[in-house]
Amino acid sequence: MNTLHRLLQNVPEWASIKDRKTRQVTVLASPPGTKTMSADGFWLRLKLSGHGGVAVREVEDKRQLPAFCLERHINPDSTFCVYFRSEYSLENDEAAKTWWSYLSVYLRNQVYAHKRGVWPLGSGLSHGDAAHTQITMEALAEPLGWKDDLWLAMFRGQGWLAESLPRISRDCRRVLNARTPCPRGCRWKHKLLRKKSCILDECNSNCNRLHKPILRAECPNRDVIEKLVLRENERQRIESEIINSLKKDGKKCCGSMKRCPLAT
């Protein structure tokens, strides 16, 4: 059974089939939370993809979203990047149900982006192969509760990972000069916390002490910090290559998002 047939056997109640052919179907999708953008819903075309799964895009003459928007995860050919590897084969009914649930979230995120000009934090994924790097970074950051640090830097341009990062070696394998302050900006707040914890929070207004910055060489989470720095350099490099390629192909910013690298 191909992926399209598997999806058709697991259509959720918020989607209805309007036209059906051998390799593609037209669907009217109206997941909860999306009617504020359209009273009828989204007219979508599901078609077998070259990766063995299904690609989805809007029906052209009923389009509500941009034909292409990097920041809204709409590819140059107008297909949706619903989630990582969403155009690959689905092996069972549970995978098909998951695909529909991700599509529901994706369409709600489009409504959010339409209203606010940004993609929701926590739902964003870096472009192309940079997605692999982001996933690795999230696995490093999660045990320390630092995933918000990543998302704010990647998708809002805020925080220490969005600022000037420490220098790295030419082979991109090492972070140089460990005797400089930790890039996360942590400071020693109490002697008992040394070697045990990173404390980033600022003191209250009654504190007049000048707390000593933590040097990266002394940081209790130095290994994670340096791995994040190296991978963020890699992620930025991959994304820059994608942006430059799109610009060479004449792709333009659609103007619907506040932070779009194609606008510069």
Same domain, 136 and 257: yes
**Domain final residue, candidates 88, 116, 144:** 116
Q: What is the pLDDT of residues 134-157, one digit of tens each?
A: 999 999 999 999 999 999 999 999
pLDDT at 35 over 60: yes
> For residue 79, which of 62, 58, 108 has the smallest C-alpha distance?
58
Residue 237 pLDDT greater than 50, yes or no: yes
Same domain, 105 and 135: no
193 vs 61 pLDDT, higher one = 61
The verdict on 68 and 140 lying in the same domain is no
pLDDT at 197: 52
Q: Is residue 125 part of a domain?
A: no
Residues 85, 21 share a domain: yes
Contact 195, 153 (CB under 8 A): no
Domain hosting 221: range is: 130-263
Express each pLDDT in 174-222 by its tens digit: 999 999 988 988 776 655 444 445 655 454 445 545 567 788 888 888 9
Residues 89 and 144 in one domain: no
Task: Provide the whole-model pTM.
Answer: 0.86
Residue ending a domain, among 76, 93, 116, is: 116
Q: Given this model, what pLDDT does residue 210 score?
A: 57
List Cβ<8 Å contacts ≥24 apart for 256-261. 256/66, 256/69, 256/72, 256/113, 256/114, 256/117, 257/69, 257/71, 257/72, 257/113, 257/117, 257/118, 257/119, 258/117, 258/118, 259/71, 259/118, 259/155, 259/156, 259/157, 260/69, 260/70, 260/71, 261/70
CATH code, 66: 3.10.110
Residue 203: per-residue pLDDT:
46
